[in-house]
Amino acid sequence: MTDDWWRPVAEGITLRVKVQPRARRPGIGGLAPGVDGPRLRLAVTEAVEDGRANRAVCGALATALGLPASAVSILQGQAAREKLVQAAGDAEALAARVRDWA
């Protein structure tokens, strides 16, 4: 599987994520196919109302990457299940962690 679902950027890395809100079990679930390439599958228990699922996505990724929640933000797809998320930090260290998720 290729690493098309994440990319290093000057500020850290970007991740292409497919979110499953209101899941029974939260967590990272490998890769999911997308129209324009693979995406990281991420389940959160929160509903989409009032941005709760988006905050949960940022929090879950921050925890998994060992970052504060403020270091993770959604760049695109705030109202969609497929999102582009940025994690700020050392790109090499973050890349080492996300490679194991695929």
Q: Tokens representing 83?
A: 């999102």
H-helix or E-strand containing 95?
helix 91-98
Q: How confident is the model at residue 1, as a pLDDT?
A: 42
Question: Domain 6-101 carries which CATH code?
Answer: 3.30.1200.10
pTM score, whole prediction: 0.92
Q: What is the pLDDT of residue 14?
A: 97
Please report, in tens digits, the pLDDT of each residue of the chain (102 residues total): 457 899 999 999 999 999 999 999 999 999 999 888 999 999 999 999 999 999 999 999 999 999 999 999 999 999 999 999 999 999 999 999 998 887
Domain boundaries, the chain: 6-101
93 phi-psi bin (left φ>0, alpha ψ -120 to 50, beta other):
alpha
Task: Say how many C-beta atoms besides its own lie within 10 A of residue 51's C-beta.
Answer: 14
The pLDDT score that the predictor gives to residue 23 is: 96
What is the structure's pLDDT at 34? 82
Ramachandran region, residue 73 (left: φ > 0; alpha: ψ -120 to 50; beta: rest): beta
DSSP 8-state secondary structure symbol assigned to residue 23: -
